[in-house]
């Protein structure tokens, strides 16, 4: 499907042109700084790889960045009402959603994959780094689709997204193993584990389930987002 460059360009400018974009920087910097610190002080990789890569990288960095970017690409335009200008242009809704989704997943993938690659190299090898980066990129695509839809479903998508990340993936994912089948974080872990097998990460979901669920979630979310945008009612800011 071709990408509407005008929409994509506007979205990217909307993301980078604001001060809010700086919020994305501290997380990757902290991740790399922690890894460098651990490497310099010579701690055993087995000890720090798990909390840094899994605890900070895949559990916090990737979802939080995807949340800010994914809800921002469409959500900020809904918030300030400029979405109306795009909707009144003779563009199909699918075209709009597709362009915004590509920008969101691209930006998220870059912001998350680069620091994770550096961390992977510091932990073990270039192969591990590439595995982490690839897994983060795939995870970024799925997360972006979910959070893009969320910004069309709720007036407060970031809060709902935080609930999902903290409660569903964070709290329940550790306690109730059944919820892992519906957790993007677990798919990402499985990808990282399968691409570059190490003792640091273990996927709890099988690869087949991960791939199928990732595709289903992405397609369904994007499809529903198009439907929602088709019947979108421009409302003023309430409550």
Partner 1 sequence: MSVIHDIGYRRYQGPRLGRVSVLAALYVHGMRAAFGLGRTFKAKIFPWSVAGIMLVVGVVAAAVKFQTGLELLTYETFPDQMSMLLILFCAVVAPELVSRDLRSGVLPLYFSRPLSRADYPLAKLAAMITSAFAVMAVPMLIMFLTAAFSGDGMGAVWDEVKAFAPGLAYALLFALVYSSIALLVSSFVSRRAVAAGATVAVFLVTAPVVVVLTFATTTTGQQLAQLASPSTLVGGVGQWIFGRPEGMPEELGIGSFGPLYGAVTLGLIALCVSLLLARYRKVAS
90: number of CA atoms within 13 Å, CB side? 0
Tell me if 124 contacts partner 1 by CB under 8 A: no
Q: Which two tokens stand for residue 146?
A: 């979910």
Distance CA 198, CA 114 (A): 19
Identify which of 71, 73, 66 has the alpha carbon closest to the alpha carbon of residue 111: 66
Minimum distance from CB of 48 to partner 1 (Å)? 5
Binding mask 22-41 for partner 1 (x = CB under 8 A): -x--xx--x---x--xx--x
The SS3 of residue 72 is helix
Sign of CA dihedral 7, 13, 18, 21: positive
Number of residues that bind partner 1 (CB under 8 A): 37
Q: Are 205 and 180 in contact (CB under 8 A)?
A: yes
Closest CB to partner 1 among residues 32, 213: 32
Q: Does 43 sit near partner 1 (CB under 8 A)? A: yes
Q: What angle do CA 4, 150, 24 make, to 5 degrees?
A: 75
The piece of 45-53, 81-89, 118-126, 199-207 that touches partner 1 (CB under 8 A) is 45-53
Q: How far is the CB of 234 from partner 1 (least distance, A)?
A: 17
26: Cα separation from own chain's centroid: 16
| Nearest distance, CB of residue 80 and partner 1, angstroms | 10
In this structure, what token pair is assigned to residue 155? 């007036």
Taking CB under 8 A as the binding criterion, the range among 19-27, 82-90, 114-122, 210-218 that sits at the site for partner 1 is 19-27
Q: What tokens appear for 163 in the block?
A: 């609930």
Binding string, residues 54-93; x marks residues near partner 1 by CB under 8 A: -xx---x---x--xx--x---x---x--------------
DSSP 35: H
Which residues lie near partner 1 (CB under 8 A)?
A: 20, 23, 26-27, 30, 34, 37-38, 41, 43-44, 47-48, 51-52, 55-56, 60, 64, 67-68, 71, 75, 79, 155-159, 162-163, 166-167, 170-171, 238-239
């Amino acid at each position: 499907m071709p990408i509407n460059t005008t929409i994509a360009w506007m979205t990217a400018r909307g993301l980078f042109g604001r001060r809010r974009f700086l919020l994305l920087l501290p997380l990757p910097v902290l991740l790399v700084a922690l890894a460098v610190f651990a490497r310099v002080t010579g701690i055993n990789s087995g000890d720090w790889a798990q909390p840094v890569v899994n605890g900070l990288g895949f559990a916090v960095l990737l979802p939080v960045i995807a949340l800010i970017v994914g809800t921002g690409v469409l959500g900020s335009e809904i918030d300030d009402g400029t979405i109306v200008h795009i909707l009144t242009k003779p563009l199909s809704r699918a075209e709009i959603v597709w362009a915004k989704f590509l920008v969101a997943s691209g930006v998220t993938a870059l912001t998350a994959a680069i620091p994770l690659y550096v961390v992977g190299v510091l932990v073990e090898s270039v192969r591990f780094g590439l595995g982490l980066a690839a897994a983060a990129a795939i995870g970024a695509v799925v997360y972006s689709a979910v959070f893009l839809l969320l910004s069309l479903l709720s007036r407060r998508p970031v809060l709902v997204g935080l609930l999902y990340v903290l409660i569903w993936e964070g709290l329940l994912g550790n306690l109730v193993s059944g919820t892992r089948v519906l957790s993007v974080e677990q798919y990402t872990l499985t990808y990282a584990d399968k691409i570059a097998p190490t003792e640091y990460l273990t996927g709890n979901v099988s690869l087949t389930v991960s791939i199928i669920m990732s595709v289903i979630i992405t397609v369904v979310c994007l499809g529903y987002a198009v439907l929602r945008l088709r019947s979108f009612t421009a409302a003023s800011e309430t409550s």
